[in-house]
Structure 1
Amino acid sequence: MADIFDVIADGTRRDILQLLRERSAAGEQGTSVSQIVQELGVSQPTVSKHLKVLREAHLVSVREDGQHRFYSIVAEPLEQVDDWLVPFLLDESDAAAAVASVGAALPESAARAAEGIGRVAASAKHAVTGALKKLGA
């Protein structure tokens, strides 16, 4: 399997992932190749080539319905990117607190919930910081 960072380094693949994420959030049960082609304005062979790479990296799943294929995002492999990136988004005090809290024993379900909340908080902080920088604040 290709390195996840190599896979998401391509802008077209990131655009496809973003589109699939948005459609999934809107309740779509899959997106056809023709819908991706139409949304992104990229040729069908190009979309198919990128979907193959995403499929091999386990970032998308495919459901076949006759001759049509419907793609959905699989976000779990992106956790590797998240795990690598989050320390860059944390302040020194946040990082120290995170390291200190690792020793605290939590039930597994609580630890998973805390991890999810931490990811969302780091992502939100990054988004707000980026927006403020764009606004010149």
Structure 2
Amino acid sequence: MADIFGVVADSTRREILRILLERYNQSSTAGGELSVSDIVDKLGLSQPTVSKHLKVLREAGLVGVREAGQHRYYHLDYAPLEEIEDWLIPFLSVDFDASAEEAAEETEGLKEEQRAFAAAIGKAFADTSFQMAHAVKDAKPRKWRKND
């Protein structure tokens, strides 16, 4: 059996699963079945391409198939999706918004500290600049050459 995560990593296979899920939600009497040709029409891909993806999904147990003559009708099988759900639940239970708010508060505190530090540096620079300007202004010119 293929790794389920590898199977659903392909965007075309995810799209097939989405189409089968929509069908299941729309019509409970048909058992959510769609023919290969219906799936081909919805995806706009070639029939061999869709069939190859359906084979991978079938081997992974994500879809079931019912044969009627030369036609094949596919439906979604939820059981293997529980493995994905079990893996995802810890990630879904984390409150990322709260973590983001805490990070924003820490960043805001850091910004305030940075502003205070920048203001202190700016004040020190201004004081030094003022003192230097007065020192240069008050300085008397010197003769640097002996002959001047």
Deviation at 1:88, TM superposition (A): 0.7
Deviation at 1:42, TM superposition (A): 1.0
Q: What's the counterpart of residue 24 of structure 1?
A: 24
Task: Output the TM-score relative to the length of structure 1.
Answer: 0.65
Matched, 1:5 2:8: no
User: Can you give the 5+ residue segments of structure 1 that lack an aligned partner in the other structure?
Assistant: 93-137
Alignment partners' CA distance in 2, 1:87 and 1:31: 33
Q: What's the counterpart of residue 40 of structure 2?
A: 37
Deviation at 1:15, TM superposition (A): 0.2
Q: What's the counterpart of residue 82 of structure 1?
A: 85
Task: Output the TM-score relative to the length of structure 2.
Answer: 0.60
Give the superposed CA RMSD.
1.0
Alignment of 1:94-109 (within 5 A): none
**Larger Rg computed on CA atoms:** 2
Structure 1's consecutive aligned runs of 4 or more residues displaced over 6 angstroms after TM superposition are none
Q: State the one-letter code of the partner of 1:81.
A: I
Secondary structure of 1:61's aligned partner: strand
Aligned residues: 92
Q: State the one-letter code of the partner of 1:62.
A: V
Deviation at 1:72, TM superposition (A): 0.1
User: Can you give the 5+ residue segments of structure 2 that lack an aligned partner in the other structure?
Assistant: 96-148
Pick 1 or 2: higher relative contact order, CA cutoff 8 A, min separation 6: 1
Deviation at 1:91, TM superposition (A): 2.8
> Alignment identity in percent?
62
Secondary structure of 2:85's aligned partner: helix
Q: State the one-letter code of the partner of 2:2.
A: A
Q: State the one-letter code of the partner of 1:31.
A: L
Q: What's the counterpart of residue 15 of structure 1?
A: 15
